[in-house]
Structure 1
Amino acid sequence: MSNFDLVIQLFLQLTVILATCRVVTILGRRYLGQTDVVCEMIAGVMLGPSLLGLIAPHFQQWLFPKLPIITSLGDKIPNPSMSILYAISQIGLVIYMFLIGLEFNTKLLKHHIKSANLLSAAGIITPFILGAIASFWCYNNGNFFLPKVTPWSAALYLGASMTITAFPMLARILYERGLAQTRFGTLALGAASVDDGVAWCLLA
């Protein structure tokens, strides 16, 4: 696959993604009252194997290829198309989070740092305990963990995993609703950022 082919495929992927997101967002906001980010998640599910891959698997594989490329010599090499799309998406996410950080009201957070810490602690402890309890059921029912994994390791892993929040989604919802600069929005973003920092350290 040449560089020109990769560019054409990337433009097709972006066109389909943006058009689908736009259509789903218009319908979701008008008839379901959902935020843009929720509608965009629905659009992502629709373009994945759950819907498009089920209805038109060949088209889905052609547009978003996951299978390796077979060369003329019979060698299999990874398809770079999805790697490029993934890299672009991560760049977009980083830029978006940087813009959210520019609008973060740190002065308001300083006046309510105690409330943010309490909210953050509750957001960590509660899902951690529930995740640890659920891990014992998962450990004894099904093949969720490898045999060499001990029950306590499974509890720590699942408990830490459950404490991680969808911080970019939360930030986007608060921004769309005009709550990012309010006391509620500042506390929510501050607590969620601490939650994610602690949770990723626990998971590591």
Structure 2
Amino acid sequence: MTAHQTASLLVGLAVIVLLARSLGALARRLGQPAVIGEVLAGVALGPTLFDGVVSETLFPDTVRPLLSALAAVGVAVFMFIVGLEWDATLVRGSGNLAATVSLSSVLLPFGLGATLALYLMERHEADDQLAFMLFMGIAMSITAFPVLARILTDRGMARTPLGVVALACASIDDVLAWSLLAAVVAISGAAGPEQWRILLALPYLLGMLFVLRPLLRRFVARRAGLRLTPTVFACVLAGLLLSAAATEWVGLHYIFGAFLFGVVLPRGGTEPLRGEVHNRLGQMSATLLLPVFFLVTGLQVDLSGLGAAGLGDLALILLVAVGGKFAGAFAAARLHRMPGRQAAALATLMNTRGLTELVVLNVGLQLHILGEELYSLMVVMAVVTTAMAGPLLTWILGRPSDTDTDTTVTGQAPEPAVDRAV
């Protein structure tokens, strides 16, 4: 790197951090998740405003590959934390309701999204039509567990029966969505001429779940009160990076390896250790790495030339994304005799997409499943569906101090423990 590149990179990173922090704080003051402001910070620095003059000045082409590399590390860390906080006890403790709502809130928007893809193909080129249809279905089916958990925590609902059910539904959604996305990545031929490597994905998954996880459990069981020493932290960090590299090499995206490594880390008796890992990685990721990811996302969002046809496509995307997710979750909840108000609140929470959706959309862009115009529209959908959750919950349930803390859901099992939100 030249001195000019180094200076440009450091100044650009400083601008990213400060702008993301400022707009994130503003979003929180307006009752929105911080991710809304941080995404808008990335879009503001991109080509949408001022014909891209800001982005070209602060982030010349010579430093953008470096930013992309930092963004990749940030996404890997984020996915690891999502896996680390994924709690199977939420699913086991919620009965049939969570499974039914999750399946319905995935299958209906998935089917509608795949159908919408048939129409969008006429205006947006798709080299692999099957992969495009499947991907659009997945993009419409996403629920962001971290953002949903943050909303519930802010409203004091995380320990209520409704909150526990919502977290359980989002947990199941995560597994379904990542499994479907892994299948699409495999179908798309991401490994190129080395496509045979995809056959190693299943042995790798089985090895992580049935070999590495038991070994880690035994290691932790023999060391009572294990703390996060520099050596342990280095091993955790190396493990997530190596796991991410492994799934990238076999032809899946690196996000799956990072997520899987977080899932296999032991749960029992490791709460303080996992809390320290979360805090150390989470602070650096939230302060620097994820804002860089938002910038890289914003640099590829260009709404400056959006015309009537584009607005029409956006309206259809929002209709399918919001309507499919809401109708699927609401109908399933009502079939289980959940009161209408709580069913509507649950359906609203399931519409939260947030950062998880952006990760999925970036996978689609990297694999050339999405073009830049459609990618831009889908990013707008992710922002809108996340931003509307808080106001809709207030409209349905009232302000947090009114009814949220005593909201009841009939027929639910006792609430399981809920991990911290990312």
**Equivalent residue, structure 2, for 1:175:** 150
TM-score of the pair, normalised by structure 2: 0.37
Change (3 A) 1:118 1:39: same
Q: Which residue of 2 aligns with 1:45?
A: 43
| Contact kept? 1:163, 1:199, Cα under 8 Å | yes
Question: 1:193 matched to which residue of 2?
Answer: 174
Quick one: percent identity of the two aligned structures? 24
Corresponding position: 1:126 with 2:124: no
CA contact (8 A) 2:20 2:38 kept: yes
Q: Distance in 1 between matches of 2:142 and 2:117?
A: 21
The 1:44/1:184 distance shift into structure 2, 3 A limit, reads farther
**TM alignment of 1:1-204, pairs within 5 A:** 2=2, 4-30=3-29, 32-51=30-49, 53-54=50-51, 57-66=52-61, 79=62, 81-112=63-94, 114-139=96-121, 141-142=122-123, 144-145=124-125, 154=129, 157-164=132-139, 169-175=144-150, 177-178=152-153, 183-203=164-184, 204=187
Offset of residue 12 of structure 1: 1.2
Cα distance change of structure 1 residues 14 and 44 upon mapping to structure 2, 3 Å threshold: same
Q: Does the 8 Å CA contact 1:171/1:189 hold for their aligned counterparts?
A: no
Inter-CA distance 173–90: structure 2 relative to 1 (3 Å threshold) = farther
Q: Aligned letter for 1:105?
A: D
Going from structure 1 to structure 2, the CA distance change for 1:119 and 1:201 (only over 3 Å counts) comes to: farther
1:113 and 1:65 map into 2 onto residues whose CA distance is 53
* Aligned-partner Cα distance in 2 for 1:11–1:176: 33
The DSSP-based 3-state class of the residue aligned with 1:38 is helix
State the distance in 1 between where 2:55 and 2:132 align.
Answer: 34
Q: How large is the Cα RMSD of the aligned pairs?
A: 2.9
| C-alpha distance in structure 2 between counterparts of 1:190 and 1:5, whole Å | 45
Paired with 2:158 and 2:120, the residues of 1 have a C-alpha distance of 38
Give the aligned length: 178
**Are 1:124 and 1:199, in contact at CA under 8 Å, matched by a contact in 2?**
no
CA distance in 2, matches of 1:102, 1:137: 38
Distance of aligned partners of 1:59 and 1:47 in 2 relative to their CA distance in 1, 3 Å threshold: closer
1:134 Cα deviation from its structure 2 partner:
1.8
User: What is the deviation of 1:46?
Assistant: 0.8
1:198–1:97 distance in 2 versus 1, CA, 3 Å: closer
Q: Given that residues 24 and 38 in structure 2 are in contact (C-alpha distance below 8 angstroms), is that contact kept between their aligned partners in structure 1?
A: yes
Question: Structure 2: any 5+ residue segments left out of the alignment?
Answer: 188-422
Cα deviation 1:100-141 (Å, max 9, x = unaligned): 4333333232223644433332233212221232233334x4
2-structure distance, mates of 1:93, 1:180? 25
Does the 8 A contact of 2:110 with 2:138 survive in 1?
yes
Contact in 1 for aligned 2:91/2:172 (Cα 8 Å): no
Matched letter for residue 34 of structure 2: D
CA pair 202-94 structure 1, distance change in 2 beyond 3 A: closer
1:108·1:186 contact (CA, 8 Å) conserved in 2? yes
Higher relative contact order (CA 8 A, sep 6+): 2
| The 10-residue stretch of structure 1 (100-109 or 174-183) with the greater mean CA deviation from structure 2 | 174-183
| Aligned equivalents of 2:72, 2:147: Cα separation in 1 | 16
Cα distance 1:176–1:86, how it changes in 2: closer, same or farther (>3 A)? farther
Closer/same/farther in 2, CA of residues 156 and 114 from structure 1, 3 Å limit? farther
Letter in 1 for 2:177: D
Counterpart residue type for residue 178 of structure 2: G
Q: CA deviation at 1:21?
A: 1.1
Deviation, structure 1 residue 16? 0.7
SS in 2 for 1:163: helix
CA distance in 1, matches of 2:78, 2:118: 38
Q: Which residue of 1 aligns with 2:293?
A: none
TM-score (normalised: structure 1): 0.70
